[in-house]
């Protein structure tokens, strides 16, 4: 079985994936995610603060060791919104990783859509997919794509903090851009990927963080009513109380409300009662695209 690696440098997290190719199916072997908050640790000029550089270098070193230990034959590094904003970050990543692809917003949305759909529905499946990260929100149906610079860290900065009116304020920020969307087709599934969505699914299922595995939360339906209830619960809690919630990542206690607010506003705009969380997002999509370029058509993903 050939083993491949993917490394994703995002605005909030650095993620990795190790997957094997068995026949025409990809098999999950390992994955990691570490919150580094590059967007918060970036100067207006795009320069990275020293703590961001050290955190990033340390995580890249850990991922390289993981890839080496698991016999990764080839790995595909890429970056998204933070690197689109910062030439200094792009240069640092090229020094650390060599050739690196900085995804355009359109390719990021396409990769998220491809990975989520094949992971949840298989080739030929039809769905809209949103990917909420730290710096941006992508939405795609496979043909159109929309990218908004309103990820959870950006929303936190724009709003200046939490408030009882934050849903209304997020709705105003997203409203104009979302008003340009085509009509949501009746009977179509909405899939969601990203750390906020994964954390919400963990809390919904009551899975302790130390017991996380992608198969445990993949394809979880998250009702709008639960997301609204969770948001208002969080707004009534202190940070330490939030950290005690089963499924809550400590690094997300101050940002999860902003991500939830964006997801809630999107679901309401589309007139839905919820969405299905997917653990197979842009890393899977980029790997599938890379293999397709070599004549390998991936027929599905096995997370177990």
* Per-residue model confidence (pLDDT) at position 39: 82
User: What confidence category does residue 181 fall into, taking pLDDT thresholds of 50, 70 and 90?
Assistant: confident
d(CA 207, CA 106): 33
- What's the chain's average pLDDT? 94
Q: Under CATH, which architecture does the 2-104+287-302 domain have? A: 2-Layer Sandwich (3.30)
Selected residue with higher pLDDT from 240 and 46: 240
* Per-residue model confidence (pLDDT) at position 90: 84
Report whether pLDDT(230) > 90. Answer: yes
User: What confidence category does residue 176 fall into, taking pLDDT thresholds of 50, 70 and 90?
Assistant: confident
Average pLDDT on 189-202 reads 98
Q: What is the pTM of this model?
A: 0.94
* Per-residue model confidence (pLDDT) at position 98: 82
* Per-residue model confidence (pLDDT) at position 169: 94
DSSP for the chain, please give it: -EEEEEEEE-SSEEEEEEEEEETTEEEEEEEEEEE--TTTTB-TTSPBPHHHHHHHHHHHHHHHHHHHHTT-SEEEEEE-HHHHH-HHHHHHHHHHHSS-EE--HHHHHHHHHHHHHHHHT-TT--EEEEEE-SS-EEEE-SS-EEEES--HHHHHHHHTS--TTHHHHHHHHHHHHHTTSPPPPTT-EEEEESHHHHHHHHHHHT--GGG--HHHHTTEEEEHHHHHHHHHHHHTS-HHHHHTSTT--GGGTTTHHHHHHHHHHHHHHHT-SEEEE-S--HHHHHHHHHHHTTT----EEE--
* Per-residue model confidence (pLDDT) at position 29: 98
C-beta atoms surrounding 232 within 10 Å: 13
Question: Residues 253, 239: contact at Cβ < 8 Å?
Answer: yes
Of all residues in the chain, what percent carry a pLDDT higher than 70? 100
Report whether pLDDT(114) > 90. Answer: yes
User: What confidence category does residue 94 fall into, taking pLDDT thresholds of 50, 70 and 90?
Assistant: confident
CATH superfamily of 107-277: Exopolyphosphatase. Domain 2 (3.30.420.150)
User: What confidence category does residue 258 fall into, taking pLDDT thresholds of 50, 70 and 90?
Assistant: very high
Using alpha carbons, select from 106, 109, 135, 252 the residue that is nearest to residue 193: 109
Q: In what order do the strands lie in the sheet with 101-102?
A: 101-102, 74-79, 2-9, 13-22, 25-35, 300-302
Report whether pLDDT(269) > 90. Answer: yes
Question: Residues 132, 262: contact at Cβ < 8 Å?
Answer: yes
d(CA 136, CA 155): 9
Report whether pLDDT(14) > 90. Answer: yes
Average pLDDT on 69-75 reads 95
Q: Where are the domains of the chain?
A: 2-104+287-302, 107-277
Note whether 2-104+287-302 and 107-277 share their fold.
yes
User: What confidence category does residue 298 fall into, taking pLDDT thresholds of 50, 70 and 90?
Assistant: very high
Question: Residues 202, 209: contact at Cβ < 8 Å?
Answer: yes
Lowest mean pLDDT among 16-25, 151-160, 220-229: 151-160
User: What confidence category does residue 200 fall into, taking pLDDT thresholds of 50, 70 and 90?
Assistant: very high
For residue 98, the Cα-to-chain-centroid distance in whole angstroms is 24
* Per-residue model confidence (pLDDT) at position 27: 98
* Per-residue model confidence (pLDDT) at position 38: 87
* Per-residue model confidence (pLDDT) at position 168: 94
* Per-residue model confidence (pLDDT) at position 95: 86
d(CA 12, CA 132): 11
Using alpha carbons, select from 251, 249, 250, 246 the residue that is nearest to residue 208: 246
Lowest mean pLDDT among 6-20, 36-50, 252-266: 36-50
User: What confidence category does residue 2 fall into, taking pLDDT thresholds of 50, 70 and 90?
Assistant: very high
């Amino acid at each position: 079985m050939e083993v491949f690696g993917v490394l994703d440098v995002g605005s909030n997290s650095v993620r990795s994936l190790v997957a094997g190719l068995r026949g025409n199916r990809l098999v999950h072997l390992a994955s990691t995610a570490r919150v580094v908050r590059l967007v918060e640790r970036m100067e207006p000029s795009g320069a990275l603060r020293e703590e961001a550089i050290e955190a990033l270098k340390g995580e890249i070193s850990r991922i390289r060791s993981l890839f080496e230990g698991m016999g990764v034959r080839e790995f595909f590094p890429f970056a998204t919104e933070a690197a689109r904003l910062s030439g200094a970050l792009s240069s640092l990543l090229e020094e650390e990783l060599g050739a690196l692809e900085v995804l355009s917003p359109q390719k990021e949305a396409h990769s998220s859509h491809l990975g989520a759909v094949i992971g949840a529905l298989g080739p030929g499946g039809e769905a809209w997919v949103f990917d909420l990260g730290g710096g941006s929100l992508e939405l795609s149906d496979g043909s159109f794509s929309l990218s908004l610079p309103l990820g959870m860290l950006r929303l936190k900065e724009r709003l200046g903090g939490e408030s009882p009116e934050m849903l209304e304020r997020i709705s105003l920020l997203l409203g104009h851009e979302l008003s340009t969307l085509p009509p949501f087709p009746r009977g179509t599934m909405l899939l969601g990927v990203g750390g906020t969505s994964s954390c919400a699914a963990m809390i919904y299922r009551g899975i302790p963080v130390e017991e996380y595995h992608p198969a445990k939360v993949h394809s979880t339906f998250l009702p709008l009513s639960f997301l609204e209830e969770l948001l208002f619960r969080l707004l009534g809690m202190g940070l330490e109380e939030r950290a005690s919630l089963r499924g809550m990542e400590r690094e997300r206690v101050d940002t999860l409300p902003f991500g939830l607010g964006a997801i809630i506003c999107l679901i309401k705009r589309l007139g839905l009662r919820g969405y299905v969380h997917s653990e197979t997002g842009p890393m899977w999509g980029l790997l599938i695209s890379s293999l397709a370029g070599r004549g390998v058509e991936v027929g599905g993903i096995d997370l177990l």
